[in-house]
Amino acid sequence: MSVETMIPLNSKAAKFVSTPKQLFINGKFVDAVSGKRFETLNPATGEVITTIAEGDKEDIDRAVAAARKAFEEGPWASMKPNERARLLLKFADLVEENIEELAHIDTLEFGQPLATTTAFASSVPELFRYYAGWATKVTGETIPVSTPGTIFNYTRREPLGVCAGISPWNAPVSVAAMKLAAPLSVGNTVVLKPAEQTPLSSLRLAELFVEAGFPDGVVNIVPGFGPTAGAALVNHPDVDKVAFTGSTVVGKEIMRSAAGNLKKVTLELGGKSPHIICADADYEKALANAAFGILFNSGQVCFAGTRLFVEKKIYDNFVSDLINYTKKYKLGSGFDATTTLGPLISEKQKNRVLNYLDIGQQEGAEMLVGGNAVSSDLANGYFVKPTVLANVQNTMTVAQEEIFGPVICAMPFDDLDEVVKTANETYYGLGAGICTTDLRKAHKLAHAIKSGNVWVNTYHLMDPASPMGGYKQSGIGRENGAASVLDTYTQIKSVWVDLD
């Protein structure tokens, strides 16, 4: 870490994190009913940043009551779609004015390089603008029914009510925004519980919601832990919907809890995405793509291209060039302009990743490069070097379980049918990458891989207009795009009118 290349903490971000933080309920910043607080840490140094009020059941009860009231009565309930759109657009402008601050807050708390957190923060205004457009465009239909008499039948798309959002730590501000923009655009109210590791940027969004003029109770943000605040939200009988991004294990638990009052559920869960490199690919581009597919965000992405299938005739060269490529990544603080690989989120996560490296080697994989990063300047942070495991079999633990770290599991393949079969041998179905210059091959593979997102000669691209989500145990429902507002944040009512 060099002093000259360090970017100082943005003064507004420094001011924001200099004070203890509260919960945001019914338009006010308040302490937790229990008075409890928890610490949030800087993963690059292990130092405490500040303390956060720790929400629990009573706080969730208050937030849900506020969200219910705002949904049923008051200015939000009677607001016209174009007025809602204007509020969302105003909020988007405010976020845009504060992108640097939001990125700095996320880098401080999440550790990733500013380039990454700036991209995350920059996605927020675009997402809100996209969904602001939907506010005035969600329509019903007139249905030509064949029933006797003169009957007029039409449908309305109505909001669901109080929507809970539970977000993870691996893209703090942008995933929080996904739990807010779509539901708000069609008139729902929201209670968001951000991840306990990264609540700060969500609380900064709360301030911007106030500044934009959102009525009290429309947005509530209650930091706290999963088994307490999270579980209270998911079990709450007055919550109509839960949108969750996180692990498959917790996703299944949420589905069970949501059954209590049959909440609608959308889940964006884990992945074990295949990345298929064909021998005819643009070699240099494929190398960059393979590395980016897994190393972006230090591998802490559910879409990460963790299982790298390389066609046998180029396998040895490709893996050896990939090792050299990954050695160019520079580990360090996200505030160092030269850093290209940040720390993992926590000591727990680092130990989990290192444990997988041990398991992989015990099961016969060969670690060609990577592992624990223990150089003295990084010793207090949670760093793991870009790691390449070769001799991996798809049935091994490291090829089946989500590692959530910068770990590439390389496997050779001979032909397309074989690679499709192996790539699909997983419980997950979130993302997939394909590198080839053969157009027919690209589309054949894209159709055959069972996953919600496929990238050809690129990776990790996203846009508010394009749906995102998982096949199989990677999720239910979609975020982004028309599917999100229409299928997951509105419900259809059929109205029958006798005109005789």
Q: Which stretches of the chain bind ligand ADP, using CB under 6 A?
A: 166-168, 193, 195-196, 225-227, 230-231, 234, 246-247, 250, 253-254
Residue nearer to ligand ADP on the CB measure, 75 or 227: 227
User: For 194, which DSSP code?
Assistant: -
Shortest distance (Å) from residue 39 CB to ligand ADP: 15
DSSP assignment string, 317-369: HHHHHHHHHHHT--B--TTBTT--B---S-HHHHHHHHHHHHHHHHTT-EEEE
Judge contact between 229 and 451, C-beta under 8 A.
no
Shortest Å distance, C-beta 5 to ligand ADP: 30
- Residue 132 phi/psi, 5° resolution? -60, -35
Over its C-alpha atoms, the chain yields an Rg (Å, rounded) of 23
97 is catalytic: no
Eight-state DSSP code of residue 264: E
- 63 exposure class (CB count in 10 Å sphere: 0-12, 13-18, 19+): buried
Q: Which residue is nearest to ligand ADP (CB)?
A: 226
Q: Which is nearer to ligand ADP, 94 or 166 (CB)?
A: 166
Spatial distance between the Cα atoms of 259 and 272, rounded to a whole number of angstroms: 27
Of 257 and 490, nearer to ligand ADP (C-beta) is 257
Q: Which has the closest alpha carbon to 104: 113, 96, 95?
A: 113
Nearer to ligand ADP, 54 or 336 (CB): 54
Instruction: Considering the complex, state which of residue 217 and residue 246 has its C-beta at the smaller distance from ligand ADP.
Output: 246
Q: Which of 109, 268, 311, 402 is catalytic?
A: 268
Kindly state the smallest distance separating residue 113's Cβ from ligand ADP, in Å: 20
Query: Whole-angstrom Cα distance, residue 75 to residue 84?
Result: 10
Minimum separation from the CB atom of position 344 to ligand ADP (A): 11
Q: Closest distance between ligand ADP and the C-beta of residue 271, in Å?
A: 12
Catalytic choice (101, 126, 196, 302): 302
Among the listed residues 379, 381, 458, 358, the one whose alpha carbon sits nearest the alpha carbon of residue 370: 358
Packing angle between helix 99-110 and helix 81-97, nearest 10 degrees?
Answer: 70
Task: Give the shortest CB-307-to-ligand ADP separation in angstroms.
Answer: 19
How many other CB atoms sit within 10 Å of the CB of residue 393?
14
Catalytic residue list contains 402: no
Token look-up 């021998």 returns 279
- CB nearer to ligand ADP: give 246 or 412: 246
Task: Give the catalytic positions in this structure.
Answer: 268, 302
